[in-house]
Amino acid sequence: MSRKYFGTDGVRGKVGKAPITPDFVLRLGYAAGKVLAAHQAEGERPAVLIGKDTRISGYMCESALEAGFTAAGVDVKLVGPMPTPAVAYLTRALRLAAGVVISASHNPYDDNGIKFFSGDGEKLPDSVEAAIEAQIDRPMVCQTSSKLGKVRRIDDAAGRYIEFCKGTFPTNLNLRGLKIVVDCAHGAGYHVAPPVFHELGAEVVAIGAAPDGFNINDKVGATNPQALQKAVIAEKADLGIALDGDADRLVMVDAAGKAYDGDQLLYVIARDVQRRGLLRGGVVGTQMSNLAFEHALGALGIPFERAKVGDRYVIEMMQQRGWRLGGENSGHILCLDQHSTGDGIVAALQVLRALRESRLTLKRACAPVALFPQVMINVPVKSRGDKANDNRVAKVLLQAERDLAEDGRVLLRPSGTEPVIRVMVEAQSRTKAERWAKAIASAVQAAR
């Protein structure tokens, strides 16, 4: 599908610049409302749920969306700051037409975005996004007063989601005796993540839990785990859990302060599910998933497939194959037997379940996945076309692949957001990975 406004994860950009402006967000809400109303049964009024992270611009976007939806005759349920996966869960639990999240995930505070979930708590189908895009450019015609949507706030949304998360952890287990540092990235999980682990019995130390509208993801969270690493050591904790701004990513830290990424944590979950005889098929990763992760799964006899980068594509491949586990090394982990979307809190609980039942530390459980060094070079280009077809690039790629053989991997892909070609080389030796990454990047640069 050719997209004018929607990217792979909704509409996103710098606040105050198109498309994240009050007038566009108003039209986006109205357009989405019209499309949802068209799919509603005769005489029924659709309702949507709107959640957001802690960015200062969330107020503006929330008000604009609310006005757009109600002008289209759609009722709105507001939940305030709430993790992206919480919005997906609540939309499904409340039997609503759609859920909307105002968030730019792990980006800085001056970015923001709008993404949608269907009534099933899944990403909107391409056909619905296309219909919304087509409606955006049409004139707005406000409903008459008698048909305008109504707005109300759901006051117990946080409690509902906390109970949902706890419900994904076995009732015969608890977290007593564990001291856990939880880094909420000053984001949407600040008021829900610490209670989940505390109510399951852990001693919880919360950091990154004082949002002010500007500090989301600032030197904290899953994309900046250094703060968590220091806190775990300082608190003499057993482990640490880091979420990102909208709480759908997960990084964990062991007692010594070592961080573990999405590949390593997904391995721990997959091995535990296999041990319990509940693994359906295999695991889906991405082009960026570490080769050591693939080898470790192979040693367990677990099939592995790679999707394009982006949790949208991981979910699509999982659904095509009927598999239940997948994720990205960035920390998006999908356990479709527990939730319809990636959820940092739920994923952390699945790791903790595996540790409790196996009586292993995080370090020992992750030991089979000794990550290969990955070297990434972004090469600025005027055109993001297929550089691999250039003779000079193709020659170097062939040489690299022959040299690396089964002990390494080369990936050349255009960025979806910047005018660059990303060159990634993975090898057991960092020196070898760096040498080939530089050689390929030089060839790509010469091919411009």
Give the residue numbers annotated as catalytic, written as ranges.
105
**Of 17, 143, 119, nearest in space to 68 by CA:** 143
And the tokens for 360?
A: 């292993």
In which order are the strands placed within the sheet that holds 304-307? 304-307, 283-286, 325-327, 333-335
Query: Is residue 261 exposed (0-12), middle (13-18) or buried (19+ Cβ within 10 Å)?
Result: buried
